[in-house]
Chains A and B, each alone.
Chain A
Amino acid sequence: MKIDFTVNGKPHTVDVAPDTPLLWVLREHLELTGTKFGCGRALCGACTVHVDGQAVRSCAYPIEYAQASQVQTIEGLESDRIGEAVVNAWIDLDVVQCGWCQPGQCMSAAALLKANQSPDREAVDASMSGNLCRCGTYSRIRQAVDLAAKNLREGAE
């Protein structure tokens, strides 16, 4: 099945089985390996990308649903001010430990901040609870989301 879609602003066409996970297409066909495989069952959040502005788990996203869609991955996250603010906050607070889950964490954080640039603790936890971190960097993730939100509000990203 031919799928035409855009990834990080660049048009792509792939010819794959319709039930091929978007994650496979990104990593194996387009060689965008920033998005990670975690569980394969939409349970851990490591593979989170944006499709038409919504955070989705790409391991459980059959490529047929991506026809004519705009996909954004961690490689393209800094193309807008919210994504840039998230990445800068992650760097400023040295959030990452092993790093495997962090692309998904950043994509979820950006999706949250697109919807709400003043999230309280409850909103942050509720929106980020689908992204697991086996290194336990949750406290730094919370701080980084708060910092990115603050910088966005102050226009200082």
Chain B
Amino acid sequence: MKTVFRVVSASLVLGGGFTVLSCVAESGDPGDDAPSPNWTSVDRDTPQVGDPFATVARVLRHPRCLNCHPSGDVPKVGDDRRLHAMGVRRGDHNFGMPAMHCNACHRSANQEAAQVPGAPHWQLAPRSMGWEGLDDHDLAETLKDRSKNGDRSLEDLLHHVSEDPLVLWGWDPGVGRSPPPISHAQFVKAFRHWIDSGAASPAPGTTSY
């Protein structure tokens, strides 16, 4: 059974790519202590085996996702996950401050000339969905916690990662931004597999990149 699972897991990962929006924690946030992999040199051909959540976690932890899921109030940008310029902050509704709303600069599509990324409802994830510094166990627990995830069921979460245009943007991030390490189709498949296998949280202490 274990061998079969490993083959399935490996097949989910092979040949894909996924990028995540990066947001930054402020000094003192748990994210400051997290390892900082070089996303431009991640080996995307090496199959990952183990817990069903590992493949999902690899995507969620990618800069295209994590940059806008900060544990603090400041988004991050770029594959190197640097602080967003201009002192951008979360604001009361996760859309930035007055006069500095996200849509002061970000439109519903990427702008190649100005190199400003864009997608519908560009915004930060709520503070309760800050993922920086979480291990795979806490990341999975946070995802499943309806008091933190916008009262979403597992199927709601699957729909979110399958359809939300801001999530889909991660695979079309524009020039200079890497996509996640697996394709969107593979990511959705992995997410489905995690749910179907019981949506278990990995043991504490594991961190998948």
Contacts and interface: CB of A to CB of B under 8 A. Distances in A.
Interface of A: 19, 21, 40-43, 45, 48, 54-57, 59-62, 65, 108-109, 111-112, 114-116, 123, 125-130
A114 B116 CA distance: 26
Interface in B93-141: 97-101, 103-105, 107-108, 111, 113-116
Given A19-B113, A114-B98, A126 B104 contact: no
Nearest to B73: A126
A112 B114 contact: no
B205 interface: no
B62 to A, nearest CB: 24
B87 interface: yes
Contacts of B89: 126
For the complex of A and B, the 4 pairs showing the least CB-CB separation, nearest first, are A129-B87, A115-B98, A111-B99, A60-B114
Contacts of A126: 87, 89, 97, 100
A111 B100 CA distance: 9
A41 B115 CA distance: 7
30 contacts: A19-B113, A41-B115, A42-B104, A42-B114, A43-B86, A54-B101, A54-B103, A55-B98, A55-B99, A55-B100, A55-B101, A55-B104, A57-B105, A60-B114, A62-B107, A65-B108, A109-B99, A111-B98, A112-B97, A112-B99, A115-B99, A123-B97, A125-B87, A126-B87, A127-B97, A127-B100, A129-B88, A129-B100, A130-B87, A130-B88
A127 B90 CA distance: 11
Interface of B: 85-89, 97-101, 103-105, 107-108, 111, 113-116
A70 B24 CA distance: 34
Nearest to A57: B105
Contact of A56 (B86, B97, B103, B111): B103
A124 B33 CA distance: 31
A130 B99 contact: yes
Contacts of A112: 97-99
A27 B87 CA distance: 28
A40 B97 CA distance: 22
B116 A42 contact: yes
Contacts of A19: 111, 113
Nearest to A61: B107
A11 to B, nearest CB: 23
